Amino acid sequence: MISVAIDGPSGAGKSTVARRAAEALGYIYVDTGALYRSIGLFALLAGADCKNEDHLRKILPIIKLELKFVEGEQRVLLNGKDVSEDIRTPEASMAASDVSALPLVREYLLDLQRNMALSNNVIMDGRDIGTVILPEATVKIFLTASAEARAMRRYSELLAKNPSVTYEEVLNDINRRDEQDSGRSIAPLKPAKDAVILDSTMRNLDETVSLVIRTVCEKLSTLKE
């Protein structure tokens, strides 16, 4: 099986790029952030403290997460309910970042993610795919961009849903999440030693998708030699 790990900070375009590259290559796209977001959402709705390991210890046994693929699109089911849209709010993003810092939560999601790559050719995006989840991934990419470029992209997306959102708020949010995701002691956001680092700051979506596909194809061709 072929596995492509795409890690990097929030807003670098990982999910859109990974989805389009997977479509072009005929692989399954797995968005692992959706799993942390679903746990964060459940914890929020349950009134739990997302940073409290004891709270999460009580919650995890009553959570059932499933990933489904409908016409190539990943849908995430939380206790049977499709929460693919509900997990995209800024509150769910912060809750996801909080719960993702807990070893208990990362451990809980480990097998679910690994199993996806056992029986499918996958492009999996996240923060620790190349370093922890799939250390033997066929191709490892670390996709990054400046915080300002990432904030501007996210701001344009959010503006359509919420006209009162400001660029400064989004930039602050990105900086806070970067700090939290990179500074945590467990599975911090960092490139794997053998990752190819790609920067999307000065590239549009099409250019970044092409670059990712080219990187995958080049790596695969070296393996055939």
Q: In 3D, which of 110, 126, 179, 183 has the Cα closest to residue 7?
A: 126
Per-position x/- string for 100-129, each x denoting binding to ligand DC as judged by CB under 6 A, each - no binding = x-------------------------xxx-
Give CA–CA dist 183/190, Å, rounded: 10
Q: In whole angstroms, how close is the CB of 167 to ligand DC at the nearest point?
A: 18
173 binds ligand DC (CB under 6 A): no
User: Is the CB of 188 or the CB of 224 nearer to ligand DC?
Assistant: 188
The site that binds ligand DC (CB under 6 A) totals a number of residues, namely 14
Q: CA 220, 115, 143 angle in degrees (round to 5)?
A: 50
For ligand DC, which stretch binds (CB under 6 A), given 60-68, 95-103, 152-160, 217-225?
A: 95-103
Token pair for 146: 């400046």
The distance between the two most distant Cα atoms of the chain, rounded to a whole number of Å, is 55
150 binds ligand DC (CB under 6 A): no
8 binds ligand DC (CB under 6 A): no
Residue 84's contacts (CB-CB under 8 Å, 6 or more residues apart) are 34, 74, 75, 76
Q: CA 46, 41, 175 angle in degrees (round to 5)?
A: 125
33 binds ligand DC (CB under 6 A): yes
Q: In whole angstroms, how close is the CB of 222 to ligand DC at the nearest point?
A: 26
Per-position x/- string for 41-80, each x denoting binding to ligand DC as judged by CB under 6 A, each - no binding = ----------------------------------------
Beta strands in the chain (DSSP E): 3-7, 28-31, 65-70, 73-78, 81-82, 122-126, 139-144, 196-199
User: Is the CB of 124 or the CB of 211 nearer to ligand DC?
Assistant: 124
The answer to whether 117 and 6 have CB atoms below 8 angstroms apart is no
19 binds ligand DC (CB under 6 A): no
Give CA–CA dist 168/94, Å, rounded: 16
User: Is the CB of 55 or the CB of 220 nearer to ligand DC?
Assistant: 55
131 binds ligand DC (CB under 6 A): no
User: Is the CB of 75 or the CB of 220 nearer to ligand DC?
Assistant: 75
Binding interface with ligand DC (CB under 6 A): 10, 32-33, 36-37, 93, 96-97, 100, 126-128, 177, 181
